[in-house]
Amino acid sequence: MDINRALINEADISKAAELLHSARQIIAIGVGGGSTITSQELQHRLFRLGYPVVSYNDGLLTRMVAATADANDVMVVISATGHTPIVVETAETAKQYGVPVIAITPSGSPLANLSDLVLPIVHKETDFIYKPSASRYAMLALVDVIAMELAVNHKRRSRDRLRRLKLALDTHRTGSDRQPLGD
């Protein structure tokens, strides 16, 4: 995880937040295990802040969405390898229609090479097949960093929505007032 922490570039995070903040819609793409979960987590983090975001995980549907998006949208493509053909083809289609593409993927991968902005990850997988993939944690950490950047940069907007979310949850569940926002 220290390797991935060192890869975080504050200027790139700020640029990603600017693109996402001004997007008509945010399209989160992840096909496969950790990438699917991470794209869904991006949706879960950003809708709480009031951003129009949808996660797509079906390969054919991702292509369809890419073909109907335009330059007012932003696509965040998440791939642990950056080599999965359907993911690369989806990003290529989006680029064809002027959609800015942010990739959370290894630098130098086919996906990274065609993206407008790369938030790089490194995965050091081992031969021990029973261990969960470490790349999942690196991708999830970047989602948290992006969401935090958006929330802090737009505090008034975020504060009101998070307050409303907390109120809706606290009136529904019992327990202390220090529970997570949205379990």
Q: What is the CATH number of the domain that holds 45?
A: 3.40.50.10490
| pLDDT over 60 (residue 1) | no
Q: How many residues does the chain have?
A: 183
- Looking at residue 178, its pLDDT comes to 61
| pLDDT over 90 (residue 107) | yes
**38, 139 in Cβ contact below 8 A?**
yes
From the centroid of its chain, how far is CA 48?
A: 14
Range of the domain at 133: 2-154
Residue 169 lies in a domain: no
Q: Residue for token digits 């008034």?
A: 156
pTM of the model: 0.89
First vs last Cα of the chain: how many Å apart?
Answer: 25
Residue 14 lies in a domain: yes
Residue 177 lies in a domain: no
**How many separate domains does the chain show?**
1
**73, 25 in Cβ contact below 8 A?**
yes
Residue 160 lies in a domain: no
